[in-house]
Structure 1
């Protein structure tokens, strides 16, 4: 027997009277063409006042529209107990605090030991039938807030918010050196390095990328910086911060050894790198509009233990004044 997620419900407004059901679905509920085609093929997909109808039907004020999506599972992901922190969960969303070192989704050569394996196991234990749908990704060695949608409607809506730039993603990074000015915008197109395909570089022919930064604390041998992404290129923060001479502490791919010149002592920088076993980057805050409630929601992940310890070590040498 087919089972369904809780329906998405919309009560038709008086000003919607006379509209085609299809138009209401697109304009009021934001249903994409792809999802609408999927709902039309589902036996209980689109109902108007409790009855299945064609989307060419005209609606009246007070009519009730219900969208029902079939429950799915990630049968290709093996359930595996993997600890992770849950920041929030409802029937539509799962917000996790991803630990550093954990790959988000199985890839070639990494079929187990990922966050997806852990989440699928968690849902199995709860008896929930849900497919793993991350709305965005974090690098393996980046910790912090990550959003997982529990149905295609929610995934579509948050993805569209990301495209429209209405999702706010904030990071905390510990970097070498001191950004100058202490607050600013980095606009540098990013693309693959032709000599090292796995590496990204700032290049005039790259894809547009924009990063906002603000130095929160200044130390003798580094800075704590808050970063807001306004685009989502691969390795964007690491590439952009390195491009202004402030690579992330612990970053072996875009770190101090990649810089031809530096305003800080290279030997000291290498010593600070030894304090971290990964790049010092944490997704600290995520804000967006909840697709179902329409409320603006914000989720915050505290600094993990390794970054808190690094901060403490850097603070022990903290300069008295921030420029």
Structure 2
């Protein structure tokens, strides 16, 4: 049986006499679900190299280790696909996702996804991991994508997301002149009853909060920085449309006044997706316990769009 590198915690003097379960849950922040799973592993939890029950008391200086079995994504076909790796360590793989590629295989779409490329990358590197994306990006959205290498890392960052402690920052090109340099859109979102795959602002929807700031105003559009408090499906696209400034290239959430004319035709020639990019992702790294941010620069298609907007300002 193979294991990932163990998580190690040295008990400090002030925790002398603590129950091991308390140390695992309060200091290492192991969830009850994950703790139950680790307990079933042969060498899952040890103190000073000896397997222990979680109801024992620990002493100052004790070396607590957690081991998790290595896993593979056996149902994902490895494919040699190009990956733009921003960072990789024993805990995480951080990618700059290209627009047009799906993150995970779905029904009828089993190949040419990020997952296929990552599984191949790990096989070539001799790494045994299960594909665990921490969050998702729409197929046509580019930018930072974080993938956990162990169940513990996935659980840790997922918990930060639930507590709204993860920083997600996007860059988007939107139509029109944005009146307020900064603003917040606090409008609930749910499915459109007439088009279930489309989301709309509706009073009985789920809470959704989007903050924005204008970075650059052009003659017919603007580059805005956007950060989220919630993570509803299509949230940015729905909220910006509701504000009257749909994203350039977004055919699903456009408005009639921006769906035709020479400017729309020019944009469609330069862009075959919505102009949305996940620019920055920040969280407390589960391995180092320090705040870490990862940035993905604007891809070529959005840089070309920005240059055209500046020339036609």
Q: TM-score, normalised by structure 1?
A: 0.95
The alignment partner of 1:169 has SS state of: strand
Deviation at 1:51, TM superposition (A): 0.3
- The whole-number CA distance in structure 1 between the counterparts of 2:94 and 2:254 is 30
2:124: which partner in 1? 125
Matched with 2:276 is: 281
Structure-2 residue corresponding to 1:267: 261
Aligned pair count reads: 312
Q: Does 1:225 align with 2:220?
A: no
What is residue 105 of structure 1 aligned with on the other side? Answer: 104
User: 1: distance between equivalents of 2:123 and 2:221?
Assistant: 44
- Residues 240 and 246 in structure 2, CA contact (< 8 A), matched pair in contact too: yes
1:183-240 Cα shifts (integer Å, max 9, x gaps): 1001110100000000000011011000010010011110001100111000000000
Point out 4+ residue stretches in structure 1 off by more than 3 angstroms.
none
Distance across 2 between alignment mates of 1:86 and 1:228: 23
List aligned pairs for 1:101-250, cutoff 5 A: 101-250=100-249
Residues 176 and 269 in structure 1, CA contact (< 8 A), matched pair in contact too: no
The one of 290, 293, 296 equivalent to 1:301 is: 296
1:14 maps to which residue?
13
Does the 8 Å CA contact 1:188/1:209 hold for their aligned counterparts?
yes
DSSP-derived class of the 1:121 partner: helix
The 2-side partners of 1:181 and 1:35 are apart by 46
Q: TM-score scaled to structure 2, two decimals? A: 0.98
Work out the CA distance in 1 between the residues paired with 2:31 and 2:247: 39
SS at match of 2:233: coil
2:173·2:247 contact (CA, 8 Å) conserved in 1? yes
* Matched position secondary structure for 2:9: strand
SS in 2 for 1:3: coil
**1:249–1:272 CA contact under 8 A, matched in 2:** no
Equivalent in the alignment of 2:22: 23
- C-alpha offsets along residues 143-198 of structure 1, whole Å, 9 cap, x if unaligned? 00000000000000001111111110111101111222121001110100000000
Give me the whole-angstrom Cα distance separating, in 2, the residues matched to 1:37 and 1:92.
21
Cα distance, 1:272 vs structure 2? 4.0
SS in 2 for 1:184: strand
By how many angstroms is 1:269 displaced?
Answer: 4.5
Q: Secondary structure at the match of 1:303?
A: coil
Tell me the SS of whatever aligns to 1:87.
strand
Structure 2 unaligned blocks of 5 or more: none
Report the Cα offset of residue 19 of structure 1: 1.2
